[in-house]
């Protein structure tokens, strides 16, 4: 594991910020599931929670964008099968870094963040479960159940085989 990569700090900050948003909603609206709260009308699709430092939020699809005075975060939830918000992808990490240019100046160069993200993939430190709970999010391998990864890899292999049968 290459601890020299600055992306570790960025991902930790991203995940902590997503957790902060979730906790704000839980306190402000007395909900356990933010998506369910929005879909059942406990709160509007867009709004603000100024007492908690949330200047603006917008629920979208399976995620939420949240604006604080010092950062912007846009994250998606995933069901693996439990509801999770610790996933990340290159696009969301890049946007998060760009919202904090002084803190993450290194990542204003998109090639740098992309190179470090690709390094994490190459070293099998992050994983995108494509067939289990269909998501674009990557997760730290250490935070995923081993059987989830195995099931996903088997399903992925079978899916690739079935695609080739189509051409025969």
The predicted-structure confidence for 8-25, as pLDDT tens digits, reads as follows 999 999 999 999 999 999
Structure-token pair, residue 25: 């909603």
The pLDDT value given to residue 144: 85
- Burial (CB count <10 Å: 0-12, 13-18, 19+), residue 70: exposed
Lowest mean pLDDT among 14-28, 45-59, 99-113, 133-147: 133-147
Write out the H or E segment, with its range, that includes residue 48.
Answer: strand 46-49
Q: Is residue 152 part of a domain?
A: yes
CA dist 1 to 34, 38, 87, 111, Å?
A: 34, 39, 19, 21
DSSP 44: -
For the chain, percent of residues with pLDDT exceeding 70: 81
Q: Is residue 168 part of a domain?
A: no
Q: Is residue 137 part of a domain?
A: yes
Q: For residue 105, what are the domain limits?
A: 7-163
- CB of 68 closer than 8 Å to CB of 57: no
Length of the chain measured in residues: 168
Q: Is residue 2 part of a domain?
A: no
Write out the H or E segment, with its range, that includes residue 72.
Answer: strand 72-76
Q: Is residue 1 part of a domain?
A: no
The pLDDT value given to residue 121: 94
- CB of 149 closer than 8 Å to CB of 141: yes
- CB of 57 closer than 8 Å to CB of 72: no
Q: Is the pLDDT of residue 155 over 90?
A: no
- Interval 150-156 mean pLDDT: 63
The pLDDT value given to residue 39: 92
pLDDT category, 48, cuts 50, 70, 90?
very high
- Interval 43-59 mean pLDDT: 97
* More confident: 130 or 145: 145
Q: Is the pLDDT of residue 150 over 90?
A: no
Q: Is the pLDDT of residue 4 over 90?
A: no
Place of tokens 């709260």: 37
Q: Is residue 88 part of a domain?
A: yes
Q: How many domains in the chain?
A: 1
């Amino acid at each position: 594991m290459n601890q020299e990569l600055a992306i570790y700090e960025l991902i930790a900050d991203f995940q902590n910020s997503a957790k902060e948003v979730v906790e704000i909603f839980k306190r402000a609206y007395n909900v356990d599931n933010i998506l369910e709260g929005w879909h059942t009308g406990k709160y509007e699709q867009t709004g603000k929670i100024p007492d908690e430092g949330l200047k603006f939020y917008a629920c979208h699809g399976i995620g939420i964008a949240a604006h604080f005075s010092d950062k912007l975060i846009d994250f998606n939830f995933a069901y693996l099968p439990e509801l999770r918000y610790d996933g990340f992808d290159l696009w969301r990490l890049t946007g998060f870094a760009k919202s904090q240019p002084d803190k993450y100046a290194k990542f204003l160069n998109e090639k740098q963040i992309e190179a470090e993200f690709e390094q994490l993939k190459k070293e099998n430190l992050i994983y995108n479960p494509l067939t289990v709970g269909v998501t674009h999010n990557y997760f730290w391998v250490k935070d995923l159940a081993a059987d989830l990864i195995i099931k996903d890899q088997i399903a992925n292999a079978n899916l690739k085989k079935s695609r080739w049968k189509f051409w025969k």
